[in-house]
Structure 1
C-alpha cells in the first residue's frame, strides 16, 4: 500500500517588536521549494490551515503565523490593536524569517493585513491566492456594511460587536453557508472560542472591529496596486459567505482580468469543506509561478 507523503510540520515562535509570534511551517522535500505565506482570518489563527499544510507541505514551504490577539501569539498588555499594527508585526515576521519572494494567501482579515504588506513590498509578492478576502465594496453584504458602521461611542454598538464573540457566533461562521455541515470539524470553532475567551482577547477583537472601516478606506489603493502589479492570482470564493458575498470575487477581475476564478458552493471558511478541490488549484498556481 502506498501512503501519500505527509510533511514534517514545525511549530515555533519568533520575537517581533516585543510580540512573540507563533507560527507553523512545513518542511518540504526540496530546500528551494516555492513558498506560500498563509494569512488567516477572524476569529481563527494559523490552525485553520493545518489540513492544507498536510496536503501541500511535502512539495511546498507553507508558513502560517498567528497575528497579535489571535491563536498562540503573545502580545504585551499595552499593544495597540489595529489593522496597521497587525500588518506591521506580520511584515516584521516576514523579515525575521528572511522571506524575499512568496505567494500570499489572503483570507478575511488576511486581506487587509496582506494588501498593506504588498503595498510596502511589491517585490515580495510572486502571486496571490484570494479566498473570501475582500477588497471591493461590492463584496460587502448589507450585514457587513452595518457592522463596519458601528462606532464605540454609539450606545449599544459594542454589545452588537461582542455578540460575534460567543460560541454560537463562532460556530455560525464555520457552518453558515456550507453544503455539508458534517464536513466541518468542531475542533475548529471550539479552538477559536478557546482563544477568544482568553484574558484580553475580546478587547483586542473589539478594537479591530471598530478599526475595520480603515480597510474600506484603503480599497482604492489596493485595487490600484493590483492593476499596477498584476500578480498571478487564484481567486477561490465560498458563494454563501454571509459577510463577503460572491460579487466581491468577480470584482477582482476588473483589476486582474487574467486571474483564475472558482466560486464554490460553501461558506466563509471554504477550506473546511472544499479542501480537496482547493488544494490542487493552489498547487497549480505555485508550480506556474515558480516554473
Structure 2
C-alpha cells in the first residue's frame, strides 16, 4: 500500500488529508484558497490523484482544488468487506461532497471518474457549476449508452482482455499482481509519452498494488464490466435540464485505445451540443500524462471564461 506521507521524490508535494465519512479511510488533497470555487478532480483506473499533479499547481492559485482517491486506489484504504462497483464509488463521493458541504463544483473527470462524477451530478445537480470531461465518459440517461459501450468493447484491447480473462478465470490473478505489471496495464490502456517513465513514476502508480489484497479496487472496476455489475445513475428530467444548462468542456486524446472518441464523445455532445470539444492528436487515454500543460491551459481558459 502507498504510504500516506510519500511524495514520490517531490513529484506529489501535497499535504495528505483523510475522511472516514464513506466508511473507509479516503485520502484526498485540498489545495488553494478555502473560500475559492471548488474544482473536484475524479480519477479512474488504475490511477489516483497523482494523475492531476501538474494540473493542481496552476489552478490552486485561484481555485480550491480537491482530488480524492477512490476506495481501493492511491492512498485510500481498500476495505475487504466492500464491493467496488460504480454505484459504490458514486455513493462514496456523494458522502464525501456532502460532508465537506462542497458547492459550485467544477467536475474534472477522467476515465471512470466520468460516470462517478455524472452520478454525483444526477443526485445533486444544484451543487455542480461546470463539467469538464478529459477522456472520461459522461453518461447521463442517454439511450445510446449501452450500444456505445458494446461497440467500444469490440475495438478496445483493455475491454477485450477483461472479457477474455474473466471467462478464463485469470482476471483476478493478473490484476492481483498489478504492482508488478503496472506498466503493461497502463500501456494497454494507452499513453504515448514514454519519456514520463522512470522509477519514481512506476512507483507512484505501482506501489499501491503491492499485494493482491490491495488490488481489490482495480479488480472490482474491471470485473464489474465483465459481470455487468456496474449501475449507471439514471437522472430525472429536472436533473437533465439542470445539468444540460451548465458550461461544459470536453478534451479528448485521439490516440485513446481504451475509450474510443467515436463512441464516447457523442455522449458528451448529445448532452452539451453547444460545448467546445478539443481533440488532441497523438495523445492517449492517460491524457494528463501525455499533454499535462496543454490540458491545464485549456481548463484554466475555460474556467476564466465561465
Question: TM bucket by the smaller chain?
Answer: 0.7 to 0.9
In the alignment, is the contact (CA less than 8 A) between 1:45 and 1:71 conserved in 2? yes
1:15 to 20, 35, 44: 20
Alpha-carbon separation, structure 1, partners of 2:127 and 2:198: 34
> Alpha carbons of 1:180 and 1:79: their partners in 2 closer, same or farther (altered >3 Å)?
closer
Structure 1: 5+ residue runs without aligned partners?
Answer: 1-7
- 2:232 match: secondary structure: helix
Cα 1:210–1:168 shift into 2, 3 Å: closer
Q: Which is further off, 76-85 or 46-55?
A: 76-85
Q: For 1:100 and 1:37, how far apart are their aligned partners in 2?
A: 10
The answer for the alignment partner of 1:85 in structure 2 is 88
Corresponding position: 1:205 with 2:218: yes
In structure 2, the residue corresponding to 1:44 is in which secondary structure?
coil
TM-score (norm 2): 0.79
CA distance in structure 2 between the aligned counterparts of 1:60 and 1:260, rounded to whole angstroms:
22
| Residue 158 of structure 1, CA deviation | 2.5
Partner SS state of residue 84, structure 2: coil
Deviates more, 1:41-50 or 1:11-20: 11-20
Q: Deviations over 1:163-195 (max 9, x none)?
A: 883644535525975454214565334322110
Answer yes or no: is 1:101 the counterpart of 2:104: yes
Deviation at 1:26, TM superposition (A): 1.0
The C-alpha deviation readout for 1:67-105, integer Å capped at 9, x for no partner, is: 110111124332222221111111111111110220101
The counterpart of 1:193, out of the listed 180, 196, 206, is 206
- Among candidates 79, 99, 123, match of residue 76 of structure 1: 79
Residue 279 of structure 2 corresponds to residue 266 of structure 1? no
Mapping of residues 62-211 of structure 1, within 5 Å: 62-134=65-137, 135=139, 136=145, 137-138=147-148, 140-142=152-154, 143=156, 144-147=158-161, 149=163, 154-158=167-171, 162=175, 165=178, 167-171=180-184, 173=186, 177-183=190-196, 187-198=200-211, 200-211=213-224
2-structure distance, mates of 1:236, 1:184? 23
C-alpha separation between the residues in 2 aligned to 1:185 and 1:123? 42
**Higher share in strand:** 1
CA distance in 2: counterparts of 1:89 and 1:82, whole angstroms: 11
Please state if 1:229 is matched with 2:246.
Answer: no
- Residue of structure 1 in register with 2:300 after alignment: 283
> Structure 2 CA distance, aligned partners of 1:32 and 1:105?
19
Residues 81 and 254 (structure 1 numbering): CA distance in 2 closer, same or farther, change over 3 Å? closer
Which stretches in structure 2 are left out of the alignment for 5+ residues? 1-12, 140-144
After TM superposition, the structure 1 = structure 2 runs for residues 240-251 of structure 1, keeping only pairs within 5 Å, are: 240-247=255-262, 248-251=264-267
Number of aligned residue pairs: give it: 277
The equivalent position to 1:255 in structure 2, one of 241, 246, 271, is 271
Return the alpha-carbon distance in structure 1 between the equivalents of residues 293 and 236 of structure 2.
30
Q: Give the whole-Å Cα distance in 2 for the aligned partners of 1:58 and 1:83.
A: 32
SS at match of 1:193: helix
The alpha-carbon deviation at position 254 of structure 1 amounts to 2.3
Task: Mark the CA change 1:186 to 1:55 in structure 2 (over 3 Å): closer, same or farther.
Answer: farther
Change (3 A) 1:184 1:34: farther
CA–CA separation in structure 2 for the residues paired with 1:19 and 1:252 = 32
User: What value does the CA root-mean-square deviation take over the aligned residues?
Assistant: 3.0
In the alignment, is the contact (CA less than 8 A) between 1:237 and 1:270 conserved in 2? yes
- Give the one of 218, 234, 241 matched to 2:232: 218
